[in-house]
Every structure is written in structure tokens, then in C-alpha cells.
């Protein structure tokens, strides 16, 4: 079984391997453990340092991606565009090789999911997203330098707003939208970097790059944004 990408910080309220708050997901996890004993098959810990200024929030681990490898967006298609883009902006270093032990690392950025456990058909239920929201809330509270949140898809966007106690209707999801919630980090929206969205052209590489670039510009003014944008401009 793969190891987790790295233990979360001591004291961070993160789910244990056998978190049972979502009975349906716990049952699916048990079935996957029986069928694939060599897979991670547990709530997937976040990736990146807690002192990062940016947090990317996806929906949930993919069955053969993060649920298999134990690192968010690692091992299936969704990680290809996400991590290539983070590399482009200097928010990651190393070579992404779709394995939790590939040495790939994030800098100035952390990646998590609104639901930490893989759901059947990639679709967490509203109650499951609410249940896992406590961990997302703890995550953001434990990031002292957090200035920007990138939500991948409408459900992740809603999960972030719920943890902030904000009405979803007041801040509707839209690709490329930027939300300024008083007293909170800047929230930017993108369509999810899923194979379905990229195959259908709903999300292109250029569209995703533009959202990340805009968010960096907004939370810049600090070394992260300036350095990252400079590196991107030089095409590194």
C-alpha cells in the first residue's frame, strides 16, 4: 500500500484512515481495500505546506488517482493539467510523474479536496461534503498566510463558501469569477481539471492558466506573486 504523501502538521484536525463520518464512503473504502489491498484507500491528506499562501480545492479523490496513490490529483488525468500549471507559475518544482514518491513538491501552494474520500462515480453527496467540511475548515484555519483559494468546480466552490458561513447564492460559481468575501482570502473559480472537461473543450489549458495567473496577480504584491509571474513570463 502506498504511503501518504506526508503527514499533516501535528495538531491539524485531519481525518484518520478509518474516518466513519460518511457511512457510504466508508463502505466504498472497505470494498476498495478488499479489492485493491495495494492501494492507499483512505482519506487522502492534503499536499503542500500549511504556510502556503494559496490553497487549491478539488472535489474528491479519483478512484485510480489519489485514492490509489495517496496524494491529491496524483495518478490520473486531472493532475496533468493542474501540476503542469503550478510548475509553470513556480508553485511547484521537480518532475511530476504521477506517483506519490516522485519527489515532486509544491512551493507556496497547497492542494486538498472538499471530500477526502473517494466517492462512487466521482460524486460525493451533499451530506458527505458537509461532513468533510469540518476538515476543510480546519485546513484553512491552519494556514496562517492563506491569501487565495482556487476552487475547482462548483461543488468545491460551495464547500469553501459553506466553511466560511457564506450563502452560496450571494457568490455564484462561474469559471474565471473572483469573489471577495469580507475577512476571507480571495476565492477564484475554475472548471474542474477533469478529463471530461478538457476532452469536451469546456476547460482548455489556456483557460486554466488564465485563472491561475489572475489569482496570482490578485494575491501578489508579495514575493510569491511577483516571482511566480516573472518565472511564468520567462516561460520556465
Enumerate binding residues for ligand SF4 (CB under 6 A): 15, 19, 21-22, 25-26, 43, 115-117, 128, 131-132, 135
Nearer Cβ to ligand SF4 (90/153)? 153
Rounded to a whole number of angstroms, the minimum distance from the CB of residue 42 to ligand SF4 is 8
Nearer Cβ to ligand SF4 (112/190)? 112
Rounded to a whole number of angstroms, the minimum distance from the CB of residue 28 to ligand SF4 is 10
223-233 helix and 205-219 helix, angle to the nearest 10 degrees: 140
Check: CB of residue 136 under 8 Å from CB of residue 163: yes
Rounded to a whole number of angstroms, the minimum distance from the CB of residue 108 to ligand SF4 is 26
Nearer Cβ to ligand SF4 (103/120)? 120
DSSP 210-226: HHHHHHHHHH-SSHHHH
User: C-alpha grid cell for residue 102?
Assistant: 516522485
Rounded to a whole number of angstroms, the minimum distance from the CB of residue 124 to ligand SF4 is 7
Query: Phi, psi at residue 181, to the nearest 5°?
Result: -95, 125
Rounded to a whole number of angstroms, the minimum distance from the CB of residue 32 to ligand SF4 is 12
User: C-alpha grid cell for residue 181?
Assistant: 468575501
Q: Residue 145 has what DSSP assignment?
A: T
Nearer Cβ to ligand SF4 (27/226)? 27
Look at residue 160 and give its three-state secondary structure: helix
Nearer Cβ to ligand SF4 (13/230)? 13
CA distances for 13 relative to 18, 44, 140, 155, angstroms: 14, 13, 11, 22
Q: Cβ of 37: how many Cβ atoms within 10 Å?
A: 9
Amino acid at each position: 500500500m502506498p504511503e501518504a504523501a506526508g503527514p499533516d502538521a501535528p495538531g491539524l484536525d485531519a481525518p484518520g484512515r478509518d474516518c466513519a463520518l460518511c457511512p457510504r464512503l466508508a463502505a466504498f473504502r472497505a470494498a476498495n481495500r478488499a479489492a485493491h489491498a495495494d492501494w492507499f484507500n483512505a482519506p487522502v491528506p492534503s499536499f503542500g505546506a500549511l504556510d502556503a499562501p494559496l490553497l487549491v480545492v478539488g472535489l474528491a479523490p479519483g478512484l485510480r488517482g489519489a485514492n490509489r496513490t495517496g496524494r491529491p490529483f496524483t495518478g490520473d488525468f486531472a493532475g496533468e493539467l493542474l501540476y503542469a500549471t503550478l510548475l509553470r507559475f513556480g508553485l511547484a518544482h521537480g518532475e511530476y510523474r504521477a506517483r506519490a514518491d516522485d519527489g515532486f513538491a509544491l512551493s507556496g501552494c497547497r492542494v486538498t479536496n472538499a471530500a477526502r474520500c473517494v466517492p462512487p462515480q466521482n460524486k460525493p453527496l451533499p451530506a458527505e461534503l458537509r461532513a468533510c467540511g469540518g476538515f476543510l475548515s480546519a485546513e484553512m484555519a491552519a494556514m496562517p498566510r492563506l491569501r487565495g483559494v482556487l476552487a475547482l468546480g462548483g461543488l468545491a466552490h460551495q464547500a469553501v463558501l459553506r466553511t466560511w458561513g457564506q450563502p452560496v447564492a450571494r457568490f455564484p460559481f462561474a469559471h474565471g469569477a473572483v469573489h471577495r468575501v469580507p475577512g476571507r482570502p480571495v476565492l477564484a473559480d475554475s472548471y474542474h481539471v477533469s478529463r471530461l472537461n478538457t476532452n469536451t473543450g469546456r476547460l482548455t489549458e489556456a483557460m486554466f492558466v488564465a485563472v491561475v495567473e489572475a489569482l496570482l496577480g490578485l494575491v501578489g504584491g508579495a514575493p510569491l506573486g511577483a516571482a511566480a509571474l516573472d518565472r511564468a513570463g520567462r516561460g520556465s
